[in-house]
Amino acid sequence: MSAAACIFGCAGTTLSLEERAFFKAVRPWGFILFKRNVETPQQVKALVEALRETVDRPDAPVLIDQEGGRVQRLKPPHWQSYPTGRAYAALAANDPLTGRAIARLGARLIAEDLRRLGITVDCAPVLDVPVPGADAIIGDRAYGESVSSIASLGRAFAEGLIAGGVLPVIKHIPGHGRATADSHLALPVVEESLTALEVDFAPFRSLSDMPMAMTAHVVYSAIDPKRPATTSRAAIDFIRDNLGFDGLIMSDDLSMKALKGDFKSRARRSLKAGCDVVLHCNGDMAEMQAAAEGTHALKGHAKRRAEAALARLPRTPEPFDEAEARARFALAFPDLNS
């Protein structure tokens, strides 16, 4: 039986009987964890194993947002803090080679944290290019303010994750940095021309070889004046054809307020537009049940992309001396975990 073209969250630190039955019946392609699902390393590892057991797939991807800074689901005291994207950019401004090396090292350390728990996908790096006057939802999550800084440090971060046995998800394609609203709360509309938007698109084009990407719930009027990228066939075709991205495309969270309509229609519209899988994060059972009604089995090109993404995981992580690596990282950011 094929996996369904969806990724779901769960409500707490353990699975309820209802969740187990639902996941067993629906067979989502993957799962995502949030702060509400995290207490201790032992508990998270057990939860990850329980999630995979429900779909009887040891390789079912389990995702988390572990960017560093304000978007970090695993936190002290059990896990160390990691810096914002802007902090890596500050290092790179003084010494580009060192900045890139430290960004890769930070991601390699995050991958080590995640791999120990069985988590195989990190929803990072953020490749959005912030502009003056934009909403602060991106802000210091960005790896600087220039295309060159964001593309260079974003690639270093992505490569560090892969080296450690964790898949990156580039986000929010084709670019959220210009949006003047937070798509968690409202639907942003970007009215600049395609020529002006080349700045936004450039980092995604530079990292078009990455295995997975997450859409932006943003309307780009020059591409589709009515629909956000997540539910726009024109926008998804643009991502494929113009940005050259042939990896797996997942929607951003269906429960964000940028999207309208019931959850069945949100899922259906996203998949019809060309997303390979849909993402629903908050663990609300009624919403997940409705979203599942709008999904279908992973098949065709979407299935090929999903299989290709998982094939990017190395059989054995790149060897490194973890104690030495953490000491070197601490020297770069001495105040981070003090």
Burial class of 111 by CB neighbour count within 10 A (0 to 12, 13 to 18, 19+):
buried
Helix (H) or strand (E) holding 213, with range, is strand 212-215
Strands (DSSP E) found in 254-307: 277-280
CA distance 223 to 313: 34
39 close to 13: Cβ distance less than 8 angstroms: yes
Alpha-carbon Rg for the chain in angstroms: 19
Catalytic residue among 184, 237, 246, 284: 184
Residue 252 catalytic?
Answer: yes
| Catalytic-role residue among 113, 140, 224, 252 | 252
Phi, psi of 204 (to 5 degrees): -70, -35
Active site residue 280: no
Calpha distance 330→338 (Å, rounded): 10
Place of tokens 């670019």: 175
Residue 239, classed as helix, strand or coil, is helix
Question: In the 8-state DSSP scheme, what is residue 126?
Answer: B
- Active site amino acids: 184, 252
